[in-house]
Every structure is written in C-alpha cells, then in structure tokens.
A and B are shown apart, each in its own frame.
Chain A
C-alpha cells in the first residue's frame, strides 16, 4: 500500500503512463483502433470488490468486456442504474452474452448471513440477498461453516440476478431474436479460477447455453 495520500495518486498516474507507452510499443495503432468504437461480445455484471477485476482475471484486452460492477453483483428489478447498462449493452451494442459473476469471500454475501446494521443505504441494497438467506435457511444451516454459506448465498444471488435479467425487455427480445445467452459464474478468490454455475442453465439443452467440458 502507498505510504501517503499523494503517493497513491502519483502511483496510478505513473501506472497509466506505463500502460499508454507499453500499449503503443506493442501496437502503434492500438489507440487509433480503440478510438474507432467498441464492439464487446460480453456484458459482465460483477462485484465492485477490488479483487475481481474482470478484464484482468479473464486475461482479456480493453474493448472485450462491457462492465457493470456494484455491491455483491446484484441485479434488482427496479434499479435504473443496472437497467440502463443492460439496455445499452444488449439493446444498443448488441453483446452476445451476459455474465453475472459472484465470488467467494464476498463482503456483501458475508453480511447477508446476518441482519447486522450496515446503515440504511446498504441495508436496503442487501435486503433481497438477506431475503434469500431466509428463503434457503434449511439448506444454508446444513453447510459446515460461514465461508461455505457465503459461497452458497453468492450462488443463489447470481441465479436470482439472472432471473431478474430475463425479465428485462431488451434481454427478452435479444434472446428471442438473436440467441443472446446468460451465464452465471463464481470467481474463487482462493485459487483465482472461474466456475460456471450449472444451475444457471449451464448443461441444460436450451439453445446457446452450455458449459465447457
């Protein structure tokens, strides 16, 4: 961690200069190409957690993934912010896949295991996740520890978010018209690996849904 406030800013300004220089060295036309526009194939809805930077963990390049990140990768039915992202990505840019990615050791999931007061804003945001805990109490109680319970809540939350996404008018239309697919994943912070959630449709025979074998 940086030793002082000013150093922290200098560090990323310097980091950006290195990025710009290296990118140009590798491909002198890189920025000219990026300026032309974006054609991402994937919309990623992930957690704001600093340990899950989508483009880095998927070894992708700028331009590959359109991104929305919020607390605990929630898609709530009446959230204008996420709805606008989905509308733009699916309706205007025409992405081919939507990924909702949860992760292990998620603060939002851990805080959903109880009803401790996090302040009104966060309590309200996490309310649907805490409701999931109540709904799946029997299953969660059977798990060995809170780590396992937090992973399961994260999974259930991804599945619920996919269900909400399926009701979004742009998504419904794109599934019918051009075979848009939705995928649930969990990023395991303990080993850096992405895992596809079978329950989200992974191995079912629906057209366009699959999991890597």
Chain B
C-alpha cells in the first residue's frame, strides 16, 4: 500500500470495513427470518459438545467446515494448533471447556500446508515466534528417525503435520482436567484430525484415545485430585 494516495487507501479500508458490518447485518436478519427465537435461544447460554483446537489459518473456520452453527463448538485457534503445557492461554480454554462446559469431545485439528509447521522447520531466526515454533521442532526431534526416512520433502512435511497433531493430543491428555473428568464421567474423548485443502475433507488420525491415556499415565498420571 506504500506510495498510494492516502485518500484511496482510506477509501479502500473503509469499504472492506463496512463490508464486515453489512455482512453481519445480513446474517443476523436471515437467522431471525428463519427462526424469530434464534437469538433468544442463543442468549440463554452455551452447551457445546465439542472443543476444537485448530490452527489460526484463515482457510479453516471450524464451524463452517463441520457444518455446525453458533452455540455448538467451543473454539481455540492458535499458530499450528499447539497445546503447550506452560501456556496459560490454551490451558484456560481446556480447563473451562472440560470442567465448566463439560464437553464430550476434544478435537485437535491440524492441516496440510500449515505455514506454522513450515516456518518451524526452516533454519531461520523468527524473533517472537521462536519460543512458540520451538514446540514443533521438538516434535520433529521426537520423531526424527521416521521423518528423516521420508525422502520426498512434501510428504515429510505432511507427516510432520500429522505427528504434530498426535503430540498435541497427547499433551491434552496429560492435563489434570482431562484425566480427572474421564475417570469420573468417561468423557471427554480426544481426537486427532487433519484437514486437507485438496478435497476439503477431514482425516481421522485414529490416535486411539484410551491406549494413549494408559500410555502416558505411567509418568503423567494426574487423575487423583
């Protein structure tokens, strides 16, 4: 935008800004026409069945790609759908979703072609992004033998996207909130999925929740309050 007439820039920004409000009014009107009680029902509260932990990538709006409406899915999105043990942000989301909203399913959803994963495997200093992306480099180190055996670069990168999802599922299962709720209620169940742009479909990585839970509890057992 540098070098353009400031008036033109301002006009352009104004238009795209207004578009959001126009779109929103249109959306609200359509819902009231279909169901006059729609927003009254929504105001009463939320009881979502799902917690979605996905990537911030603009191409993957969780509710739209799963066909869900407002009120059905609690959502956290960050760079490369990471669940870090020391991150108060994601831990607050997991805590609230599991202990207060009592969600039945937690879905960690990555996607092929993830810019965060790609950035993490480039040999480059990325400043403020370093501490965040380090977690993905650690996933690589955990699965170094398997990944290095994949000769095709694109396929290796796709596999890292999948393994990153599996490790983030494991990180969620390591939390006290999930272990204690599952012991008491038999939910939530954690799922690992990957979204593919080539066909718009979700792929289930079939992480095997119960076995994974048993596997980590030798060391990470926090199920006793």
Binding site for B on A (CB under 8 A): 1-2, 5, 8-9, 12-20, 23-24, 30-32, 34-35, 38, 40-42, 48-60, 62-71, 76, 79-85, 87-89, 92, 96-97, 104-105, 107, 118-119, 121-122, 124-126, 169-170, 177-179, 181, 183, 189-194, 196, 207-208, 210, 212
Contacts and interface: CB of A to CB of B under 8 A. Distances in A.
A121 B24 contact: no
B65 interface: yes
B192 interface: no
Contacts of B24: 57-59, 192-194
Interface stretch (B164-172, B198-206, B216-224): B198-206
Contact of A31 (B43, B62, B71, B199): B199
Contacts of B198: 31-32, 35
Contacts of B20: 42, 58, 60, 194
A91 to B, nearest CB: 8
B63 A48 contact: no
Given A68-B77, A88-B116, A208-B13, A38 B128 contact: no
Nearest to B14: A210
Given A1-B47, A53-B62, A48 B75 contact: yes
A20 to B, nearest CB: 4
A192 B28 contact: yes
B91 interface: yes
Given A16-B66, A67-B56, A34 B197 contact: yes
A204 to B, nearest CB: 14
Given A5-B105, A179-B1, A179-B9, A16 B202 contact: yes
Given A122-B96, A178-B1, A194-B21, A67 B61 contact: yes
User: Which of B1, B75, B99 is packed against the most chain A CB atoms within 10 Å?
Assistant: B75
